Structure 1
Amino acid sequence: MMRNRMKKKDAQSALIQSYIGSSEKQQQLYKKTLIVVILSQIFGGAGLAAGITVGALLAQDMLGTDSVTGIPTALFTLGSAGAALFVGRLSQRYGRRFGLASGFLAGGLGAIGVVFAALTNNIFLLFGSLLIYGAGSATNLQARYAGADLAGSRQRAQAVSMAMVSTTFGAVAGPNLVGVMGNFATSIGIPALAGPFLLAASAYILAGLVLLILLRPDPLIVAKAIATAQKTDSKLQVAGNSDTFLLNKRGVFAGAAVMVFTQFVMTAIMTMTPIHMGHYGHTLQAVGLVIGFHIGAMFLPSLVTGYLVDKIGRAVMAIASAVTLLVSGIVAALGSADSMVALVTALVLLGLGWNFGLISGTAILVDATSTSTRAKTQGSVDVGIALSGAIGGGLSGLVVAHFSYGILSIACGIFSLLLIPIIIWARIGKHKEPSQIQVTENSI
């Protein structure tokens, strides 16, 4: 058995080594990785959307009160934040395949736990399972990094955008299957509201298995091997292109700030828009229409955004994100609350600004990190993204309660402009640190 294990390890090492000197094989693996990630993201999107659609309703039904309807979202977000760190560290140590598959499988187990909680009417099991279920959301977000591991500097944003677009298909399908899964659950003796979690469990587990089986060889492990080979090349050492110089701290901060700020602004305004519309007599159908346009704007433009980020630069698109969010806030604040056109316009701009920010910020972060720390750093940043969304959603209610929806929207728009001096600061820092320019010339 030991001999077979050694042979298997040697064969795997030889396979990884075969990619180091062949740019053609690297491109082939890059394209294969994108296909596998896209497939997993379709399932992952369905798992994410199907479950969160009815989580609050299930808690309300089990306890018979509205006072706990916010707890599922809070637990889901907290679980997502913790899992982001866990998945990032697993990926850094064992590769994307193991890290991402573990996250999706954990999300699937959490969804199964929710179903058992509904069957046994156990609220503590429900809350604990929702916490674990959040791992699927974190993994769904981190999978975008896997496609960029072997991408060239002018391909990274497009690789991220492909993963995001593929998430849309599952995210759209999930909520539309809520009724079907509810009927199926009832037919087998499970509460109807637990039905979508059956879909979520199946989708997350399938996403995990797709990655576990098909993501071979692991793109991050291959990228590490390539970086190690480059590091030992004497010519590259003379040029200062050593792995020890591959951490651009300003670039990491700038990329993280872009994603954290845009997540905060987007979540704050989006969370309170349905409440705002309800105060002015809009129907649930109208609310669904506005949020539907918003979600579409968050993901569907990704391919174009990725192309623009790679073509005209990370900094330009990050600044475009801030400006778009500002315009969204102004339209939301000054537009008539009775006008569906104004509301849709504001929320579409909000989704588009978030899209610009997430893709440009991700590209900046990937550019600014080395393979030796990349996955761990990405996981830590995604923790910040999850927490910023939770804080934005929580603070938005307080602002609207004490002031107004208009004040919230304007304040969020102005807040987003803080990204502009951060991006300028990061660009200035890049030119002051020539040892980092060799390897991060496209980072900002």
Structure 2
Amino acid sequence: MMDGRTKLSILLLAGCQALMNSTTAIMISAAALVSLTLLGSDKSLATLPVTAVVTGTALATIPASLFMRKVGRKFGFLFGVSIGMMGAAICSYAIWIGSFWGFAVGAMLVGMYTAFGNYYRFAAVDVAGQANRGKAVSYVLAGGVIAGFLGPQIASRSAELILPFVYLGSYLAIVVLCAIAMLLISFVKIPRIVAAANEEGQRPLLEIVKQPTFIIAALSAMFGYGVMSLVMTATPLAMVGCGHQPGDSFNVISWHVVAMFGPSFFTGSLVNRFGEFRIILIGALLGVASITVSLLGLELVNFYVALILLGVAWNFMFIGGTTLVTTTYRPSETAKVQGLNEFLVFGTVATASLMSGQLQERFGWEVVNLGALPFLGVVILLALWNMVAARRRVAAG
């Protein structure tokens, strides 16, 4: 059981997660559409700012982990939010002067903020302890439910707030969200790793990553997030290209984000009951179901159902992978293993988001979805293999 102070800290971290994901939702909902107004006749780079976000996340992931090991998670989180605030300000100014590349630079800084914020879920494990790791991760990620409604709605309602500079108001709103996040972080109490843990012997990184458990944990998070990014990044462009209105794409993304984080209220309990491998397997199968619905038609209902299924698939694969990876390292190995895991995940996301715009522009929505299937297939096979291997070990005593 968790005491009151622990629950409060996890609640505050969930609030920080909600604010960070609201920022991400604004970027995803509006960035590609902003790019269409800033680019010339060639629109193939329309998803580049979204790619810049996840590239910034990937580049800053390992430095963020090592930085927080030195100064503590709390100061690291505050530093990360300040980077995000600066990035949002640069995005706003770029929209004001009509600079696509300036907008991309600001987006990359916002991504660096995300790199720090992605450690909120690991901070929750530090606060709650290993015995409550599944629930702690789930509760923090559940804060994203708020982001599902808040982010896209902010993007939609503030899009024309400062005309003729469409979406300028949306990016100024991110500055406000960052300020609120800094306030919440100031009240979070996160324990520091004790000296004894720091002095414990560390294994070579290669020895850690060769563990079958680490491999399936990392690939589940990598491919779950990568597939989600590949499809979601292209969704606004695909919907507008099919004749749907921009407002429809905001609503689809909104429900997608709710589906990403809504199951977090019970995913931790499901992990505790059924184990990480089963949850990862179910998530990958839901991903296949999402792709199937996308390929069946281009009606508005297809986009809604497919993106909702994709959100739940991401939730199961990402939470399952996150909780599983925390079992693969010692306390003294935390910074380097978490840093590597996050780098692998967001390196994959950056690649997927960049491919998304190119595939959508050159080959269309169907190819975007078909490109996701092999990665989901790999996770399904690995999860099944691990489950069969575990049963054999139990049978052998």
- What's the TM-score once normalised by structure 2's chain length? 0.83
Q: Is residue 214 from structure 1 mapped to residue 174 from structure 2 by the alignment? A: no
Give the Å deviation of 1:426. 5.8
Q: Which residue of 2 aligns with 1:14?
A: none
Q: For residue 72 of structure 2, what is the aligned residue in structure 1?
A: 95
Code of the aligned partner of 1:256: A
CA distance in 2, matches of 1:214, 1:256: 32
CA deviations on 1:375-397 (whole Å, 9 max, x unpaired) are 33223222222222232234345
1:134 shift after superposition = 1.6
Residue 117 (structure 1) shift: 3.6
Equivalent in the alignment of 2:116: 139
Show the counterpart of 1:205. 179
Q: Aligned residue for 1:311?
A: 273
Q: Tell me the CA shift for residue 81 of structure 1.
A: 1.4
Q: Is the 8 A contact 1:106 1:132 kept in 2?
A: yes
Amino acid in the other structure paired with 1:166: G
Counterpart AA for 2:187: L
Report the Cα offset of residue 359 of structure 1: 0.5
After TM superposition, the structure 1 stretch with the greater mean CA deviation from structure 2, 322-331 or 49-58, is 49-58
Provide the C-alpha distance between the structure 1 equivalents of 2:225 and 2:311, rounded to a whole number of angstroms: 10
The residue number in structure 1 matching 2:317 is 357
User: Which of 168, 171, 174 pairs up with 1:194?
Assistant: 168
Structure 2 residue runs of 5 or longer lacking an equivalent are none
**Which of the pair has more CA radius of gyration?**
1
Kept in 2: contact 1:332–1:346 (CA 8 A): yes
Partner Cα separation in structure 2 for residue 94 and residue 243 of structure 1: 20
- Pairing 1:75–2:52 present: yes
**2:308 alignment counterpart:** 348
Structure 1 residue 313: Cα displacement: 0.8
C-alpha distance after superposition, 1:387-414 (max 9, x if no partner): 2223223434555677664455355234
| Deviations 1:314-361, CA, capped at 9 Å, x for gaps | 11101111222122223333x2434x4444333222211111001101
Change (3 A) 1:175 1:258: same
In the TM superposition, residue 255 of structure 1 has moved relative to its aligned partner by 1.4
Mark the CA change 1:415 to 1:54 in structure 2 (over 3 Å): closer, same or farther. Answer: closer
Report deviation, 1:72: 1.8
Maintained 8 Å contact 1:90/1:98? no
Stretch moving more, 191-200 or 360-369: 191-200
Deviations 1:36-88 (A, max 9, x none): 21222233233333345433444554555553533322222211211222222
- Select 1:337's aligned residue among 289, 292, 298: 298
Residue segments in structure 1 that go unaligned for 5+ positions in a row:
1-23, 232-241, 434-444
2:228 alignment counterpart: 266
Provide closer, same or farther for how the CA distance between residues 173 and 352 of structure 1 changes in structure 2, counting only shifts above 3 A. same
Give 2:15's aligned residue. 39
CA contact (8 A) 2:156 2:250 kept: no
- Contact 1:115–1:197 (8 Å) recurs in 2: yes
Partner of 1:107: 84
Deviation string 1:222-247 (CA, Å, 9 cap, x unpaired) is x4458579x7xxxxxxxxxx876998
Whether contact under 8 Å (2:48, 2:354) holds in the other structure is no
Shift in alpha-carbon separation, 1:47–1:336, aligned structure 2, 3 A: closer
CA distance in 2 between partners of 1:280 and 1:171 (Å): 24
By relative contact order (CA 8 Å, sep 6+), the higher-ranking structure is: 2
- State the shift of 1:144 in Å: 1.7
- What's the RMSD between the two structures over aligned residues? 3.6
Stretch moving more, 371-380 or 274-283:
274-283
Distance change >3 Å, CA 337–CA 128, structure 1 → 2: closer
Question: What residue number does 2:342 align with?
Answer: 382
* Alignment check: 8 A CA contact 1:325 1:416 kept: yes
Whole-Å separation in 2 of the counterparts to 1:193 and 1:345: 27
TM-score by length of 1: 0.75
Quick check: 1:259–1:357 contact (8 Å CA) kept in 2?
Answer: yes
Matched AA of 1:82: L
Question: Is residue 372 from structure 1 mapped to residue 346 from structure 2 by the alignment?
Answer: no
Q: Letter of the 1:312 partner, please give it.
A: F
2:19–2:177 contact (8 Å) kept in structure 1: yes
Aligned partner letter, 1:89: L
